[in-house]
Amino acid sequence: MFDYISRLFYDFAHEKYYFNAQILRDINYYGKEQLKQKCLETYTELFHLENESELSNPLQILKLFSFFISSFYTYDHNNKKIPKLDISHNKYLEFEKLYKNLKRRFEKNHLFKLLDMFEGIKYLLDNISFDVRFENANLELLLETAIKSRFNKNYNNFRIVNCKKDNLDYLEIDCYCLHIIIEAKNEYYWKNKEIIVNAIERHFKIRDGKNEIQTITFKKSYEKIKSIHYLYKKLPQPLNCIENGINILVNPDGYSKTGFFIDNRNIRKYLEKNSEGKSILNLCSFTCTLGALAKKSGAKEVINVDKEKKYIMLGKEIYKNNNIKINNYEFVVQRIEDYFKKNNGKRKYDIVIMDLPEIAAIPCDFFDKEKTYRDYNKNALNLLKSGGILITSCCSHGFSRERFDKVIKEFIDEKKYIKIDYNFDELDDHPTDKNDIYSDYLKIYGIQKLN
């Protein structure tokens, strides 16, 4: 049943075929009012559950989905294949209170599978309720509050708005050397783009009232085919920026994010101080910025591995821009699974960086994701010299910190490794809510192999 629920959540982000079918099944079988009452009985039963082994009927799990999601839909007489959303702000607040009460209960009794499923329910609930929650939102005030909290940060490249923690769901705004890039996953922000631009411009003024912003770019990530729009001057692509004394290249078109991850700032700081004389393996190297920084900081050797040739080619451009010697053997176009298989622990490194792409985008994904993270980290640890350090990242919004901690703890419990005391994922321009899986998306740990 957990696998079936996972499929519903996955389908919601794609075709919505199974998702819509389940909702129509719920509405047609019970009737709208009877559905709520029937599922409320299950809610009460699960509230008193103390152990997941006590689940007497798998349908109890499905009824949680029916209660929190199907209850917000009704039958559409004009389109019998697609249910119609029927939600109000008050109704959302009522269900959110019920959700929080039950979640606290699950946390108290350590019901981890139900908690994971509940994160998925919250993901859907936030999505379908967005319009009613933001209908009367003071967007200008929310933007002002977020921007003011970041404005005194002494960075060339930093995040201005960090979606949920700034109460601006599905909105991220980054600054790259005074070039502003807005990425929105909901059309609401495109409709209100003038408010966003005005809020940004008010905070980027210099002497004589001149605007110090170089460009403003809007990335529509809610469309199937993402599109780029220039709201103020055209962004040069690629854009040259400075970070940690390195010339980086930013390109929002055709690359994940912009080809550069601001949230890897603390990894860059660590490499700047700890690379000298080291052999380094940069797995999922993307555009090799970390490799370039390590080389500039005195690394003896850096092997960059990524499956995408265009990322590796851009990495070589970054090396060239920084006058770093290009050794072709240090740039490997290969899936890291194949790299693990070929190397099989024969070659060892002082530092291994593994910044995996998002593996579980949607919460409540039970399709072996825990095993996937375990296998990747096991193979990466096998490439360390004695005393070597693995810097491992999990940026999956759908894979909670608790689940990632569980994977890492298994290696620590073997007594062959220790977790190093370094706050890789604490960033003052990326505020997070540790109780929200979507806000607390970035998990980065350092693991050292004992001598």
Mean pLDDT of all residues in the chain? 89
Instruction: Give the end-to-end CA distance of the chain in Å, rounded to a whole number.
Output: 45
pLDDT tops 90 at residue 436: no
> What pLDDT sits at residue 32?
62
The pLDDT assigned to 330 comes to 97
Kindly tell me the burial class for residue 223, based on how many C-beta atoms sit within 10 Å of its own C-beta (0-12, 13-18, 19 or more): exposed
* Predicted local distance difference test score (pLDDT) of residue 142: 96
Contact in structure between 61 and 55 (CB atoms under 8 Å): yes
CA angle 58, 63, 64 (to 5 degrees): 105
Nearest alpha-carbon partner for 197 in 216, 169, 178: 216
With cut-offs at 50, 70 and 90, classify the pLDDT of residue 75: confident
- Tell me the average pLDDT across 128-134: 95
* Token pair 């917000």: residue: 72
**How much is the pLDDT for 267?**
97
Relative to beta strand 246-250, strand 239-243 is antiparallel
Q: How confident is the model at residue 222 (pLDDT cuts 50, 70, 90)?
A: confident
* pLDDT of 31 over the 80 cut: no
Q: What is the mean pLDDT of residues 287-305?
A: 97
Which residues touch 357 (CB under 8 Å, ≥6 apart)? 256, 284, 395
**Picking from 62-76, 163-177, 316-330, which range would have the lowest pLDDT averaged per residue?**
62-76
173-197 per-position pLDDT tens digit: 999 999 999 999 999 999 999 999 9
Residue 159: what pLDDT? 93
Q: What's the rounded mean pLDDT across residues 319-336? A: 96
Least confident of 22-36, 59-73, 211-225, 297-311: 22-36
C-beta neighbour count of 356 within 10 angstroms? 18
User: What's the rounded mean pLDDT across residues 411-430?
Assistant: 93
Above pLDDT 90, what percent of the chain?
Answer: 57
Instruction: Give pTM, 2 decimals.
Output: 0.91
Q: What integer is the mean pLDDT of 328-339?
A: 96
* 94 CB-contact burial (10 Å; exposed 0-12 / middle 13-18 / buried 19+): exposed
Q: Which two tokens stand for residue 408?
A: 């890492």
Instruction: Say if residue 166's pLDDT is above 90.
Output: yes
Give the confidence band of 206 by pLDDT, cuts at 50, 70, 90: low
Angstrom distance (rounded) from CA 126 to CA 115 = 16
pLDDT the model gives residue 207 = 43
- 22-30, long-range: CB within 8 Å, 24+ apart, which pairs? 22/65, 22/66, 22/70, 23/69, 23/70, 23/73, 23/83, 24/75, 24/81, 24/83, 26/66, 26/70, 27/70, 27/73, 27/74, 27/75, 27/83, 28/75, 30/66
Which of 35-49, 95-109, 123-137, 372-386 has the lowest average pLDDT? 35-49
Distance CA 262, CA 157 (A): 7
Q: Assign 367 a pLDDT band (cuts: 50, 70, 90).
A: low
pLDDT at 216: 94
Categorize the per-residue pLDDT at 419 as very low, low, confident or very high, splitting at 50, 70 and 90.
very high
Query: 109: which strand partners?
Result: none
User: What number is the average pLDDT over the span 113-124?
Assistant: 84
Domains and CATH numbers, the chain: 2-134 (no CATH), 139-232 (3.30.750.80), 239-449 (3.40.50.150)
Minimum mean pLDDT range among 120-129, 274-283, 318-327, 372-381: 120-129
Of 246-250, 306-310, 322-326, 431-435, the poorest mean pLDDT is in 431-435
Q: Which residue has the higher pLDDT, 35 or 388?
A: 388
Q: Give the mean model confidence (pLDDT) for residues 123-152.
A: 91
| 235 or 28, which is more confident | 235
